[in-house]
Structure 1
Amino acid sequence: MAQRDIITVAASAGGLEPLRALVAGLPPDLPASVLVVLHVPAHGVSALPAILDPAGPLPAGTAVDGEPLGRGRVHVAPPDHHVLVLDGHVTLSRGPRENGHRPAADPLFRSAALARGPGVVGVVLSGALDDGTAGLAAIRARGGVAVVQDPEEAAYPGMPRSALETAGADHVVAARDLPALLDRLCREDVAGAARAEPAALMDAEARVARPGPDALHDPQRPGVPAGLGCPDCNGALFEVPGEGALLRYRCRVGHAWSPDSLLAQQGLELEGALWVALRTLEDKVALNVRLAQDAELRGRALTAGRFEQAAEETLRAADSIRRLIAALGASGSTAEIVG
């Protein structure tokens, strides 16, 4: 009997508690491997394996490059590495970031969909923005099952809501109901399930995340020039019709962005540029004041007045920049990408 034997899980802000609840309720004889991506900082050591290992009966540990996928085991993506499914093994990659993240959910989901088709269950939990949406669409396109935490109970509903509205879901459940649902899904016979052939785009995008030369050296690379710059490398972005109805952007070296993630990162860059402008203006005010004082000491009243006027004008410009920064923050234009 063919069964679903891979569960991929994506979580970000607010995702620790539903992750813990999921792992705590899974049975010790779960006939599937569980692969988890939680957005974590690139530097340091993730505490997630130490949190999940004692939470339930399944052993949980940091994913190791080349290790076989172990049924009844939880493989956790390490910091600064995508975790992928390839030839029945875990593969780690420092490939291009997706939606500003490495590890990211989309490369994992996409690779699992290509490897196992109907044998995959994708789960999207609490988190900001929309990582996991494109990957969940890929899983559904290959005949797998999509499960989404109910956005109404998620601490950060962005990720589950995006997945639900764009990729769609076969099940929308509360975190407490996830373990029983996943156990049931992994014991169903999927021998007769339709296994759709992967689209050329899905295969090309999956290859981008793997170690080694990426798939975007092909002169027939997917997408059309978008007239936008990549926030990660300043390269040209190409507009790519992604899995399902999701529009995304990729640069030549492979960094990928959803529209929401790109807007959020542009907001961060805009705020950073404004702070640089404000610092430059404040420096200019300080220099003009110092020069005015020096001119006064030398008895050059006209020169001192000119510097004082310049200081006042520059100070007004600095105040305008401060108000603009405050307005951007109030409007959410500088929304933070939660890691």
Structure 2
Amino acid sequence: MIPFRYEKPDDASAAVSLLSREPRGAYLGGGTNLVDLMKLEVARPDVLVDVRRLTSGTIDDLPGGGLRIGAAVSNSLLAADPRVRRLYPMLSQAVLAGASGQLRNMATCGGNLMQRTRCVYFQDLTTPCNKREPGSGCSAIEGHNRDHAVLGTSPECVATHPSDMAVALCAVDAVVRVQGPGGERTIPFGEFHRLPGDTPERDTVLEHGELITAIDLPHLPLAAHSHYRKIRDRASYAFALVSAAVALKVRDGTVRDVRIGLGGVAHKPWRARTAEEMLVGAPATAVAFRAAAEAELAAARPLSGNGFKVPLARNVIVGMLNDLAKEQR
């Protein structure tokens, strides 16, 4: 591992001030992804700023409903919280579908949002990768791309975002709270992560030095009727080929409201807004569900090795909507 300096400031403001002066520095929370990348020499920060104890480690009720998740809350604590399990079951299920128990105990909710892709070329220093070394090329486009994106790609990058938790947060319209050199701001979750475009090395809209302090979950009664489903090569400790976080409200046989987030298909958690718009007011039938899923996936551009993801995503969406509709009959 390349040598680095370790700093442990007394509060969040000091951490932000310190990192903003260190262009090659990075924040350290649980370290479950960053430390691995440092071992591979993919990440080479010269300063690590420990923020694990500088942000809230609790989940608090918000006025008027909703929850505020402190950035230092562990993934295990989030998944086990009775309020999360009751009001946002797909979020609890998504967290439990990720990693292992040991990693969930260590990983923070703020850090979960900052995960880098698990693309094999990103992690292999001997191969070109625009995300790791801008301008070098994307090896996955003509290489091994079974696990890669089919939506929102660019000629520069076809990597997928690895987080399960982020897929559920995308579906419930969460808000990310950050503190930076210019003060505090909030970012709607759907705008937090970026599609690759011409700058795939930038995963998020955060400016250097900005620190995630909390994640707000809005009051969303619909989310109580939700599930998360993850399709993967093995039953545990594997990233999604396709995943979906779906919430549905049906009354009198008609879809009144719906939220659909997809994972494993894009460079960021993918909000299926085309499908949602088609479904609101439509009959809660398998035919309508399939038409909406196909409309969402019409923009898919599969690569040589991942064409199976398109019908797989369609079937996951339809199956979950059918299951949720049956629960409300």
Provide TM-score, normalisation by structure 1.
Answer: 0.27
Instruction: Identify, as 1 or 2, the structure richer in helix.
Output: 1
Provide TM-score, normalisation by structure 2.
Answer: 0.28
Larger radius of gyration between Structure 1 and Structure 2: 1
